[in-house]
């Protein structure tokens, strides 16, 4: 069974993609009376329409995640256009602490995917509070940032986004480190296809994309988040050994420790089964160090 804690727009978008994939039965948990139950009914009828046979229930009680082998956390306060992801730090820390304790009690053998912002710090909080092995607690964000980056590259070059391969390291935020040297378009390096100036513009717009979406739709992104989180869940449930950018706890990798940041990782039934260390150049290493420091400064403000 897969549990989703938080049935706001992101949680429901995630549930839709998980249900359509038919990976497992779902339990939706939220503190708002009636909300998860109503969403569960609506999603059940969606599945019936699509001839997908999964059982979906809604609950206001954490004990109903008992038996889940995968828990996705999307609960928390949302970001408004004038807020950074780190502005959410203190509010969402308390939310994630409560949920993490419940997971440790009711789903002690589960893998945990964090979606709540500020993503990297919340992943760190969940890792510390659950007491789980580090491979079992990891965060979604990299696929979202990569999707935004790829879509802009594809539009600029007039090619299909599916022909673009790339990854990302660092914070899910303004200090994220996009990697043109490790970006391929149909097997060709991006750096041979676009000028440094155009690449820089694409990178800057990628970093601003979250705020741009909030400004336009008056709400934070949800559709792409749900699709990406479900893709991570699928890699775990199917033991896919898929390489994805994942926020995970580092213990010496990339020359840093005691922090959760996004790095390319192998996802399978045991969660983060391997961290891939890219051969970064000095400029990329310096950018990553700056990003790590941003996250570590935020972690230092957290009371566990």
Per-position pLDDT tens, the chain of length 304: 999 999 999 999 999 999 999 999 999 999 999 999 999 999 999 999 999 999 999 999 999 999 999 999 999 987 666 666 567 788 899 999 999 999 999 999 999 999 999 999 999 999 999 999 999 999 999 999 999 999 999 999 999 999 999 999 999 988 999 999 999 999 999 999 999 999 999 999 999 988 898 889 988 889 999 999 999 999 999 999 999 999 999 999 999 999 999 999 999 999 999 999 999 999 999 999 999 999 999 999 998 8
Q: What pLDDT sits at residue 304?
A: 84
Instruction: Report yes or no on 101 lying in a domain.
Output: yes
Q: Is residue 156 part of a domain?
A: no
Number of domains in the chain: 1
Active site amino acids: 172
What is the structure's pLDDT at 83? 65
Which range of residues forms the domain containing residue 77?
2-139
Residue 99 maps to which CATH number?
Answer: 3.40.50.720
Q: Answer whether residue 221 is part of any domain.
A: no
Distance CA 19, CA 233 (A): 11
pLDDT at res. 90: 84
Contact 270, 112 (CB under 8 A): no
- The answer to whether residue 114 sits within a structural domain is yes
CA distance 110 to 172: 24
The count of C-alpha atoms lying within 13 angstroms of the C-alpha of 50, restricted to the half-sphere facing its C-beta, is 15
Please confirm whether the linkage preceding 141 is cis (ω < 30° from 0). Answer: no
Is 146 part of a structural domain of the chain?
A: no
Cα–Cα distances (Å) from 35 to 27, 47, 258, in that order, read 12, 18, 37
Nearest to 115 by CA among 236, 224, 243, 258: 224
CB 123 within 8 A of CB 248: yes
- Nearest CA-CA partner of 69 in 236, 235, 232: 236
Going by DSSP bridges, is the β-strand pair 26-29/2-5 parallel, antiparallel, or unpaired? Answer: parallel
The first and second tokens of residue 260, run together, are: 């959760």
In a domain, 134, yes or no: yes
Q: Report helix, strand or coil for 187.
A: coil
Per-residue pLDDT at 85: 57
Has residue 45 been placed in a domain? Answer: yes
> What is the dihedral angle through the alpha carbons of 111, 117, 119, 124, rounded to the nearest 10 degrees?
-70
User: Is residue 294 situated within a structural domain?
Assistant: no
């Amino acid at each position: 069974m897969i549990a989703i804690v938080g049935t706001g727009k992101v949680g429901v978008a995630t549930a839709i993609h998980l249900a359509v994939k038919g990976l497992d039965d779902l339990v939706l948990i939220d503190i708002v009376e009636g909300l998860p139950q109503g969403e569960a009914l609506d999603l059940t009828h969606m599945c019936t329409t699509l001839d997908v046979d999964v059982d979906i229930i809604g609950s206001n009680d954490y004990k109903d995640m008992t038996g889940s082998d995968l828990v996705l956390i999307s609960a928390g306060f949302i970001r408004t256009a004038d807020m950074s992801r780190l502005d959410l730090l203190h509010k969402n820390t308390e939310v994630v602490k409560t949920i993490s304790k419940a997971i440790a009690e009711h789903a002690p053998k589960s893998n945990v995917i964090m979606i709540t912002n500020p993503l990297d710090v919340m992943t760190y909080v969940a890792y510390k509070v659950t007491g789980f092995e580090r491979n079992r607690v990891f965060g979604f964000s990299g696929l979202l940032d990569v999707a935004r980056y790829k879509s802009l590259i594809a539009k600029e070059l007039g090619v299909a986004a599916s022909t673009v391969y790339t990854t990302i390291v660092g914070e899910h935020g303004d200090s994220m480190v996009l990697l043109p040297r490790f970006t391929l378009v149909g097997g060709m390096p991006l750096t041979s296809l676009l000028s440094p100036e155009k690449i820089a513009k694409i990178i800057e717009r990628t970093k601003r994309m979250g705020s741009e979406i909030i400004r336009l739709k008056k709400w934070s992104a949800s559709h792409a988040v749900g699709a990406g989180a479900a893709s991570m869940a699928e890699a775990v449930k199917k033991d896919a050994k898929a390489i994805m950018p994942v926020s995970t706890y580092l213990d010496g990798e990339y020359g840093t420790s005691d922090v959760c940041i996004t790095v390319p990782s192998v996802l399978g039934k045991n969660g983060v089964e391997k961290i891939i260390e890219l051969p970064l150049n000095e400029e990329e290493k310096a950018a990553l160090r700056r990003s790590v420091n941003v996250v570590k400064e935020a972690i230092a403000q957290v009371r566990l």
